[in-house]
Structure 1
């Protein structure tokens, strides 16, 4: 059966952030992910994980000025030093949280930006990050994000993400496959799962309902069927539940109870 991680940036928002760990554990989750840990000391987050028997399975490297609209700096020329300082900070948190995956956001490509230049900077930073993370036993993840939710995001297509991973060739550089983003951008999710997971380049999955990003059993994705397909592929990683509950987190977990049998 797939293993699920509650995304504490989107789920359990009826609780203060530090109380979301206990709420997730009370609903039977054994792992969590979230966007960014940097507003809290790593040791404080470690304490919440330990107190609730949880594993941290994913968080993002610093994205630049997120509140001002930045969505990563890894592809922005002239900000390489900022990216690398931020990634070192992410690795420090990963060590304390015993987290084996860090997602690197690519950033937005403004109108008129030279896409090939941006991709070259991106590949250079990813190769460096994978080298730094390898010694720490951490995977670096890149994620295609749909243009409706994040207009201008550099990376939107699964094939392009896999091409970048293949070009760099680092064994700990992998793709984060979010079925919500994939369905909006490309569709054909079943074939994508059956094709991409066996390559070994998919390091993490995420789910949400399409089109509203509520519970994964709402909208147009047949999540019970897709979870069976994921099982069929032999995927042994984690599935992040990166969705916004429609009306209370615990109340909307019927899909999870079904998945657990």
Structure 2
């Protein structure tokens, strides 16, 4: 016998209750939903997060709304599974984040004074240490992509005052690291290099560039992803034009490809 679907609500609490009711119905009656575990949902949640990221970069508000709904479903799903083992439920989750936000915003909910955003971040990290974190960097997930992780490491170090004073110093560091990399990887000849040392210098160079991006308010992950998308668009234009002219990229030389590549820049 079919269940009666809960009707839409036009207020936040009613809409959230509707989602919780649907989650209960699915967990009880749907063969797929009944089988899911915290572990089986994990990779799907990661995928949904990347889909939200794509929608944000595309500035597609309809897709952003949709992907936020998907992620909200996952949060409710995790809480429902945990409630079955009596570890926690959605109420515990919501109260936990509310308590955390209140505690970490003493300039809002207490008498702490802040002058700017930097003070807020500094207080945030100091409060985390008082809560039991052994290291300022302890909250950086080990599985983050390296580019994102470098940004988070630098932001957290800055939160306790470990940072350069101005962007000129950071750019000097970029140039220093670039020179060290060039010394390790001599582009002027074909001398065999120490790959491990060159890799280390290249990593230092990337880290310093990410640091400089932070100083000029550029998100390096977003910047690189936009460049990736730009390259893909131009390369696919190149492929399309080659097909239109009855050519195969494998049979074209670089000069021939460059003609279409320059056209792609104008599209």
Q: TM-score range with shorter-chain normalisation?
A: under 0.3
Larger Rg: 2
As a proportion of its length, which structure holds more helix? 2
Query: So what's the TM-score if we normalise by structure 1?
Result: 0.23
TM-score w.r.t. structure 2 length?
0.22
